[in-house]
């Protein structure tokens, strides 16, 4: 079997009784697989093995499948099957090696395979079975049966089982649901000697169905209408969004301090007029979302109970599938898909009453293990402040102004900057410095192509200009490229609506 090492085996088993389930079609599949570089073939049925052996010079793993009334074992259950496959020209004969009720013990099948001068492959489902097969003297351990001996069939191949077989030593064939070149490559990385691929190459009906499902899903998501919610500390925006377009919108003050039930009732009432007009609901919320549960990141912005089951409550409330993300992450995705960061590795930073952020790298939104991916406001600022947003945000600037004896809103602070008032200029300088240091560090860490700056303060030219001026002091290769957000306050709802496509 050494000539199999590092090779691809193609299983030529068309869908039973389908139009390709004929000897000429199976021979043609075998020849085409050979032309494509297959190192061996897996063929079902003695007649098929004989025909392929006569038309193609590759080694054949032969099997015979039977549906037995008194045993779940299907692959090569009888000695007569072994003999027929050997006579037909199989180089290797595979038998079901699982620990299940069977008509003939595995050891007897193995002896018959070796007596016929063939190599023996055990089609297995568990590590314990693999250990037994190895001890019995099988030449090849196959992961073929993993996922097929009870319960729902998983979508992914069982790479862990490949690794377990590898640890036992000998020749290991990874088989079962290796439906893409990438998964076949991972089997080799997991320690397989060879990978056997069947459906993805020779079951045209299955492959057609995979593609058709993907196309259907794409069509559904481009025509689906999403009820998108963007829940901020002060206002909540609700909109019907289809394919990046906002069809209708409404805004209400975010219900604060009313208790969870009243909060959900208010949100439900907001969209009551749109009932029946949306296929999914997506919520972009201030705070952190992990596994569909919502917790406050900064209770001063919006105090909601720790781990509120947001997705579950939204699904029950609106009667459609729901998703939820942190608002800045959703906005980052919106700017990535439809805005200023389109198709680039990007960091989105929103500076408003708080500071939030989101990171999209290589087309993926970084949600993070705890839902905190990209939370720039939670990093430590240059001033040694507890968090960047403690000083550089709208709340932060207003608090700093108050501490200096100037009770002022951010709007008034910027007006004071315009008027050249030294305390306001110094305060803005500090906020800009803190953010510049954080963005410089981020640039060094992940080197994004663009930093999209949004939020009520971030969008102000009076804020962006000094920030860009400060960052221009950085060497060019460490200098973030700052672009203003182009979706404004709609980035969150557009982003969350797009994220619903994955539901
Ligand atoms: C469980 C079972 O009966 N497997 C059979 C074994 O020969 C075949 O139906 C599979 O097509 C073959 O194992 C290749 O796997 P996949 O088609 O997933 O690439």
Mean pLDDT value across residues 359-383: 89
Q: What's the mean per-residue pLDDT of the chain? A: 94
What are 414's two structure tokens? Answer: 């910027």
Q: Is the pLDDT of residue 143 over 80?
A: yes
Query: pTM to 2 decimals?
Result: 0.70
Distance (angstroms) between ligand 1 centre and the Cα of 87 equals 23
Q: Is the pLDDT of residue 218 over 90?
A: no
Is the CB of 178 inside a 6 Å radius of any atom of ligand 1? Answer: yes
Percent of the chain with pLDDT over 70: 98
Is the CB of 198 inside a 6 Å radius of any atom of ligand 1? Answer: yes
Q: Of ligand 1's atoms, which has the minimum distance to the CA of residue 179?
A: 19
Please report the pLDDT score of residue 281 as a whole number: 97
Closest CA to 106 of 141, 79, 143, 145: 79
Pairing of strands 119-123, 92-96: parallel
Least confident of 272-276, 300-304, 487-491: 300-304
> What is the ipTM metric for this complex?
0.99
- The secondary structure of the chain in percent helix, strand, coil, rounded to multiples of 5, reads 45, 20, 35
Distance (angstroms) between ligand 1 centre and the Cα of 333 equals 39
Torsion of the alpha carbons at 434, 438, 443 and 444, rounded to the nearest 10: 110
Is the CB of 197 inside a 6 Å radius of any atom of ligand 1? Answer: yes
- Write the residue with the smallest CA distance to atom 5 of ligand 1: 144
Closest CA to 231 of 288, 302, 284, 308: 284
Alpha-carbon span 79 to 123, nearest angstrom: 16
Torsion of the alpha carbons at 266, 269, 275 and 277, rounded to the nearest 10: -70
Closest CA to 154 of 129, 133, 131, 179: 179
Mean pLDDT value across residues 329-337: 96
Percent of the chain with pLDDT over 90: 84
Please report the pLDDT score of residue 4 as a whole number: 84
Q: What are the residue ranges of helices labelled H in 105-259?
A: 106-115, 127-136, 159-168, 181-189, 199-202, 204-223
Helices 159-168 and 181-189: crossing angle in degrees, nearest 10, is: 30
Q: Is the pLDDT of residue 2 over 50?
A: no
Mean pLDDT value across residues 67-87: 98
**Residue among 77, 178, 199 whose CB has most ligand 1 atoms within 8 A, to mutate:** 199
**Residue among 76, 175, 209 whose CB has most ligand 1 atoms within 8 A, to mutate:** 175
Is the CB of 199 inside a 6 Å radius of any atom of ligand 1? Answer: yes
In sequence order, what are the beta bridge partners of 92?
Answer: 61, 119
Mean pLDDT value across residues 103-123: 98
Closest CA to 227 of 281, 285, 284, 283: 281
Q: Is the pLDDT of residue 381 over 90?
A: no
- 501 versus 358: the higher-pLDDT residue is 358
Q: Is the pLDDT of residue 142 over 50?
A: yes
Domains, the chain, with CATH or none: 2-209 (3.20.20.70), 226-329+495-502 (3.30.420.40), 342-486 (3.30.420.40)
Please report the pLDDT score of residue 390 as a whole number: 85
Among 233-242, 255-264, 356-365, 376-385, which range has the highest average pLDDT? 356-365
Mean pLDDT value across residues 275-300: 90
Distance (angstroms) between ligand 1 centre and the Cα of 162 equals 15
Mean pLDDT value across residues 190-195: 98
pLDDT digits (tens, 9 = 90+) for 417-448: 999 999 999 999 999 999 999 999 999 999 99
Is the CB of 177 inside a 6 Å radius of any atom of ligand 1? Answer: yes
- Write the residue with the smallest CA distance to atom 12 of ligand 1: 198
What does each C-alpha distance from 359 to 130, 362, 365, 394, 463 come to in angstroms? 44, 10, 6, 22, 22
Distance (angstroms) between ligand 1 centre and the Cα of 2 equals 23
Q: Of ligand 1's atoms, which has the minimum distance to the CA of residue 13?
A: 11
Q: Is the pLDDT of residue 502 over 90?
A: no
Is the CB of 175 inside a 6 Å radius of any atom of ligand 1? Answer: yes
Q: Is the pLDDT of residue 1 over 60?
A: no
| Residue 36 neighbours by CB distance under 10 Å | 10
- Classify residue 423 as exposed, middle or buried by CB count within 10 Å of its CB (0-12, 13-18, 19+): middle
For residue 302, give the 3-state DSSP assignment.
coil
Please report the pLDDT score of residue 382 as a whole number: 65
Is the CB of 367 inside a 6 Å radius of any atom of ligand 1? Answer: no
Is the CB of 221 inside a 6 Å radius of any atom of ligand 1? Answer: no
Least confident of 30-39, 247-256, 308-317, 409-418: 247-256
Cα 41 to chain centroid, rounded: 33
pLDDT digits (tens, 9 = 90+) for 53-76: 999 999 999 999 999 999 999 999
């Amino acid at each position: 079997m050494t000539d199999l090492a590092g090779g691809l085996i193609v299983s030529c088993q068309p869908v039973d009784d389908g139009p390709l389930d004929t000897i000429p079609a199976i021979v043609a599949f075998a020849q085409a697989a050979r032309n494509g570089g297959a190192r061996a073939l897996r063929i079902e049925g003695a007649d098929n093995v004989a025909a392929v052996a006569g038309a193609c010079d590759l080694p054949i793993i032969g099997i015979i499948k039977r549906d037995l009334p008194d045993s779940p074992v299907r692959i090569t259950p009888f000695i007569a099957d072994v003999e027929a496959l050997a006579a037909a020209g199989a180089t290797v004969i595979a038998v079901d090696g699982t620990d299940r009720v069977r008509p003939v013990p595995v050891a007897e099948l193995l002896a018959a395979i070796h007596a016929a001068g063939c190599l023996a492959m055990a089609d297995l489902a568990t590590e314990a079975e693999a250990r037994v097969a190895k001890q019995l003297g099988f030449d090849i351990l196959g992961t073929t049966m993993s996922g097929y001996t009870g319960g729902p069939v998983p979508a992914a191949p069982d790479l862990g089982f490949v690794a377990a077989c590898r640890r036992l030593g000998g020749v290991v064939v990874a088989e079962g649901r290796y439906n893409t070149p990438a998964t076949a490559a991972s089997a080799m990385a997991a320690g397989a000697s060879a990978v056997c691929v069947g459906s993805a190459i020779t079951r045209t009906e299955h492959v057609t169905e995979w593609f058709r499902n993907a196309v259907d899903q794409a069509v559904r998501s481009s025509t689906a209408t999403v009820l998108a919610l963007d829940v901020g500390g002060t206002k909540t925006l609700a909109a019907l969004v289809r394919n990046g377009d906002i069809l209708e919108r409404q805004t209400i003050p975010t219900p604060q301090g009313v208790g969870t039930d009243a909060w959900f009732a208010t949100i439900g009432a907001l969209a009551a007029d749109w009932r029946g007009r949306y296929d999914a609901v997506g919520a972009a919320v201030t705070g952190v979302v992990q596994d569909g549960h919502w917790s406050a990141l900064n209770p001063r912005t919006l105090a909601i109970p720790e781990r509120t089951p947001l997705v579950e409550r939204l699904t029950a409330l609106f009667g459609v599938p729901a998703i939820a993300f942190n608002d800045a992450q959703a906005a980052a995705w919106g700017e990535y898909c439809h805005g200023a960061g389109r198709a680039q590795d990007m960091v989105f930073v929103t500076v408003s009453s708080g500071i939030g952020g989101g990171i999209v790298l290589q087309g993926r939104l970084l949600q993070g293990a705890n839902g905190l991916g990209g939370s720039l406001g939670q990093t430590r600022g240059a001033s040694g402040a507890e968090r960047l947003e403690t000083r550089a945000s709208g709340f932060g600037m207003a608090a700093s102004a108050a501490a200096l004896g100037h009770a002022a809103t951010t709007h008034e602070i910027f007006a004071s900057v315009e008027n050249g008032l030294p305390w306001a200029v110094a305060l803005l300088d500090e906020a800009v410095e803190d953010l510049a240091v954080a963005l410089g560090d981020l640039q060094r860490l992940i080197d994004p192509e663009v930093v999209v700056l949004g939020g009520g303060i971030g969008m102000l030219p009076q804020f962006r200009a000094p920030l860009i001026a400060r960052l221009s002091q950085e060497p060019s290769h460490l200098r973030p490229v700052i672009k203003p957000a182009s979706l404004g306050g709609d980035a969150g709802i557009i982003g969350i609506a797009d994220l619903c496509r994955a539901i």
